[in-house]
């Protein structure tokens, strides 16, 4: 199976169910995703400041808003006249009641790859979502068409090292593109103003705690097989053998990528 075929195997209905089931535990458990959202906002504001851009985007779209970590930052820091929030899971709206009660905010459920983005949008933003897309390049082209002449695309996603422990032991996981691959996809139609990546290691007491963490964040959308007692025992044993970082400590890797781009 090649990389494109693997990507196309993502069952988005299954992904939606996984995230819907985790919506009440996600905000507390998804510490990396929350830190990514906060850093994305800092990078975005710094990029505009460096370019002496004083007028912030007024028409903003966020795709894959989830429980709203980045949505609240967009609303608070930018104070846009229009903020359209999108997520694959309709159930996420109940987690967004505070931000959706703002007069400039609306929620549109559905697959972001198929949504009609309002014309002359000034900022399209996304945090920790694009790795689930079937055709990111086509999505970037749609963004380019919808953006205003001076519009911006800002997103975070994850790179090759993301959750590699799980993929190595189960053979299941997403196909992650590199930072350079993302830049190449954007290059014909966007100017990449800022791009960076980092590796974040979390530590857990046991491999079982790792699995509980992933379930509580909904990041189990590539794994449909049942965890039988035997399979679970083998997984935990191998995890301890390969990824122990000390007594009663095992690691889990996240690999965030941040990109800020201006429409050409």
pLDDT confidence of 3, banded at 50, 70, 90?
A: very low
Q: What is the mean pLDDT of the chain?
A: 94
Confidence class for position 5, pLDDT limits 50, 70, 90: very low
pLDDT, tens digit, for every residue of 144-194? 999 999 999 999 999 999 999 999 999 989 999 999 999 999 999 999 999
pLDDT band for position 2 (cuts 50, 70, 90): very low
Q: Is the pLDDT of residue 6 over 50?
A: no
CB 83 within 8 A of CB 68: no
**Using an 8 Å Cβ cutoff, are 36 and 98 in contact?**
no
Distance, in Å, from the CA atom of 190 to the CA atom of 144, rounded to the nearest integer, reads: 8
pLDDT number for residue 142:
98
Which residue in 196, 207, 204, 203 sits closest to 237, CA to CA?
207
Q: Which residues, in sequence order, are CB contacts of 184 under 8 Å at separation 6+? A: none
pLDDT band, very low/low/confident/very high, at 40 (cuts 50, 70, 90): very high
Q: What is the average per-residue pLDDT within 74-81?
A: 98
pLDDT in tens, 100-145: 999 999 999 999 999 999 999 999 999 999 999 999 999 999 999 9
Question: pLDDT at residue 93 above 50?
Answer: yes
Which residues touch 257 (CB under 8 Å, ≥6 apart)? 156, 157, 158, 159, 179, 182, 195, 196, 197
Q: Does the structure show a pLDDT above 80 at 8?
A: no
- Beta-bridge partners for 84: 61, 106
For residue 180 the two structure tokens come to 């350079």
DSSP 174: P
Q: Which of left, alpha, beta for 13 (phi over 0: left; psi -120 to 50: alpha)?
A: alpha
Rounded Cα gap, residues 82 and 103, in angstroms: 9
pLDDT of residue 4: 44
Q: Which domains does the chain have, with CATH numbers?
A: 3-160+175-200+254-263 (3.40.50.150)
pTM as predicted:
0.94
Read off the pLDDT band of 41 (50, 70, 90): very high
């Amino acid at each position: 199976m090649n990389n494109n075929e693997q990507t196309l195997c993502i069952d988005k209905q299954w992904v939606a169910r996984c995230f819907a089931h985790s919506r009440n535990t996600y905000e507390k458990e998804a510490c990396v995703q929350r830190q990514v959202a906060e850093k994305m906002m800092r990078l975005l504001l710094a990029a505009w400041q460096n370019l002496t851009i004083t007028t912030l985007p007024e028409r903003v779209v966020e795709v894959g808003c989830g429980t709203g970590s980045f949505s609240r930052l967009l609303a608070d820091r930018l104070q846009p006249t229009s903020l359209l929030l999108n997520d694959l899971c309709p159930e996420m709206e109940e987690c967004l009641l505070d931000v959706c009660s703002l007069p400039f905010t609306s929620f549109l459920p559905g697959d972001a790859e198929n949504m009609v983005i309002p014309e002359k949008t000034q900022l399209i933003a996304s945090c920790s979502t694009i790795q689930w897309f079937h055709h990111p390049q086509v999505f970037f082209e749609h963004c380019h068409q919808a953006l205003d002449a001076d519009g911006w695309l800002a997103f975070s996603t994850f790179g090759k090292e993301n959750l590699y422990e799980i993929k190595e032991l189960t053979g299941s996981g997403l196909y992650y593109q590199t930072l350079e691959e993302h830049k190449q996809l954007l290059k014909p139609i966007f100017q990449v103003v800022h791009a960076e990546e980092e590796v974040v290691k979390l530590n857990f007491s046991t491999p079982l705690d790792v699995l509980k963490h992933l379930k509580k964040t909904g990041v189990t959308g590539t794994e449909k097989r049942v965890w039988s007692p035997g399979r679970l025992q083998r997984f935990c044993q191998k995890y301890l053998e390969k990824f122990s970082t000390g007594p009663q400590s095992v690691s889990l890797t996240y690999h965030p990528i941040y990109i800020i781009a201006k429409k050409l």
